[in-house]
Homo-oligomer: A and B are copies of this chain.
Amino acid sequence: MNYLKKVVLVSFCAFFSLSLMAQTHPSIMLTKANVAAVKKGVNTYPLLRQSYQAVKNAADKALAQPIVVPVPKDGGGGYTHEQHKKNYSNMLNCGVAYQISGEKKYADYVKNVMLNYASQYEKWPLHPKRKSEEDGGRIFWQSLNDFVWQLYTIQAYDLVYDGIPATDRKTIEEKLFVPILKFFTEDRYDVFNKIHNHGTWNLAAVGITGYVLNKREYVEMAIKGSKKDGKTGYLAQIDQLFSPDGYYMEGPYYQRYALLPFVLFAKAINNYEPSRKIFEYRDKLLSKAIHTSLQTSYTDKTFFPLNDAIKDKTYESVELVYGVDLAYADIKAEVDLLDIARQQNRVIVSDAGLKVAADLAAGKAVPFKYQTLWIRDGGKGDEGGLGILRNGPNTDQQCVVLKAASQGMGHGHFDRLNLLFYDNTTEIFPDYGAARFLNIDTKNGGGYLPENNTWAKQTVAHNALVVDQTSHFNAKLGPADKASPTLLYFSNQPNLKVVSAKEDKAYTDVTMLRTSALVKVEGLDKPLLIDVMQAQSAKSHQYDLPFWYKGQLVNTSFPVTAKANQLTALGDKNGYQHIWLNASNPLEGKSGMVGLLNKNRFYTTHFVSDNPLEVKLLSIGANDPEMNLVDGKAFMLSSSGQNQTFVSITETHGGTDPINETVSSALPTVSGLKLIKSDAQQTIISFKVNERTYTYQINYTEKQNYISLR
């Protein structure tokens, strides 16, 4: 405790002195005044020790190899691309190793790499693999990667500043950083001033470079835009890219990515100019953004893969390590963040990492508090949002996500009122995410694949309603960006968690309402997922509601007769051309069920419709000449009529124990699902559990009495 007090005191003095004498180095994540404390912490706190050990190992590995700064040539995942990425990591690792170990060899390495870049940079034209003149980089195929490179590199420079002779610093600054500042702010003027994550990376790199080189005019431009009028720049980005709840409109995958330049620049601003109170800006927006990023993950650590998202991305990602460390150390020490830090299993070797590691070692962590919540989207919070319903402990949590957010620009998918369902630390009804093999050069240079547009963005690739086999907004970004769903109701009670939203612009003459709920019923271990998708129209339409699922089909209420010798594509456009129709089962009544086995647990979806119903069994893969798509399966409820309501109850039950070869509750308990009424005022259904009949009623027009279960 005394020790910690001292740390705090020293930090305080450091910040104080910084504001007077700003050109101390280092002064971003690791500050000069705290180096001694961090050094001591490395020997004291396990997580800081192993985090530093990893940094030092990487630094030593870098030192053992020759310095290679190749002329830029390859696209994402290719040799020169990966080598330039490696260089900035190496420089940053060596910078940290220099500060903690005090060994000059690390500073020398950084100096030599930078001098090498300085000797070449000005000769490099725009990258030969650039996709356009507007966003090509010089080191990488897109300027975005150049911004990232600089954001890391300038930190390394700050860390070794005192270990490099002044003449070399002059060369590096004049031949590398100044030309980079010029390239970023002039040649990439439009990107610098764009309200978009590429812009954030650009201005954060420029701003931090401005602080480190003491060129405050660049800081000013970064914060307030090239014209210094505040219409663009960092503050405008905070204002416009995030909702009041800290949600980033592109979705969780890009939110995570966008976060790093936001928090790093904030940290630099706070160190250099604490009077700006940047962490307080817009009602502590940055703190909310970090928390919201974590809340948009499931307990398997992955982010909800909404919009263009690489599916195995988790909060172990370095951006969230920065985010969590800074949120805890610099904004508010909420002890459930320590749980995330523990799962991340590393901290940034820095002032913030010291505090996190110390508090973790002191046993302060509690399980991360995943919440049931409605996260607003849009700069003003009025462009829809994400509904997240959760039940159960982090070790075995059910989670439902209703995507009722805005389009989120070019990386957005046409999936209004898309539903995701998780249980047992795995996906049950997943989202496909993006069609992309990140950094794998043999797959379209590691970029988005053609199937990202023809499949992944299309409505049918999601657990969303498709009308007449066309995608929402005809898959046109313009109109989609202009409209967003409306929240009708949100409730978080222990036994009834509900989100209900409306989308009436995705199709010209169809209004869609989706009401999803986790409902606890006596006699069942797990809540039921009750999902009511209602479409209202004056005209007759074909309605398809797919449930993309993981696991194996093990039960159906109807006889399945899958196609035997030949499969054909389900359609010829709007994503349907990528689907194989495995089986088509018209139901005798208007109800049925499908049973799945997933990770040794059973899931039975009971469904009922007000029009005659057909169940189609589908798999992904048609019209995929280069076999770019990954596997996936769905059951799709199909019907036609004017108004159409699909009701489903997904029951989680029993399981198999393959080690002991036992099975429990293989058959569902829910029975007799009936749709009693569904119109613009109400949907009423009934079902039985253990001989008791329940009536579940939605009153669309009564906010005070929206849902009841009797």
Contact = CB atoms under 8 A, between A and B. Distances in A.
Given A566-B567, A583-B627, A622-B564, A661 B439 contact: yes
Given A443-B554, A666-B442, A569 B565 contact: yes
A129 interface: no
A289 interface: no
A627 B437 contact: no
A239 interface: no
Nearest to A257: B661
Contacts of A622: 564-565, 567
A656 interface: yes
A338 B446 CA distance: 45
Contacts of A667: 441-442
Contact of A664 (B82, B314, B442): B82
A359 to B, nearest CB: 23
Contact of A666 (B77, B582, B617): B77
A554 B449 CA distance: 12
A570 to B, nearest CB: 10
A322 B695 CA distance: 51
Given A313-B658, A658-B310, A439 B663 contact: yes
Contacts of A658: 310, 312-313, 438
B568 A565 contact: yes
Interface residues of A, number: 60
A227 B442 CA distance: 69
Given A77-B663, A438-B661, A442-B555, A562 B624 contact: yes
Q: Count this chain's copies in the assembly.
A: 2
A85 interface: yes
A583 B625 CA distance: 9
Contact of A566 (B310, B317, B441, B569): B569
A623 B565 contact: yes
A623 B568 contact: no
A362 interface: no
Given A440-B597, A440-B663, A597-B440, A580 B560 contact: no
27 contacts: A77-B663, A82-B662, A86-B662, A310-B658, A313-B658, A313-B659, A314-B659, A317-B659, A317-B660, A318-B659, A438-B658, A439-B661, A440-B663, A440-B666, A442-B595, A442-B666, A442-B667, A443-B554, A553-B627, A562-B621, A562-B626, A564-B625, A565-B623, A566-B566, A567-B567, A582-B627, A619-B621
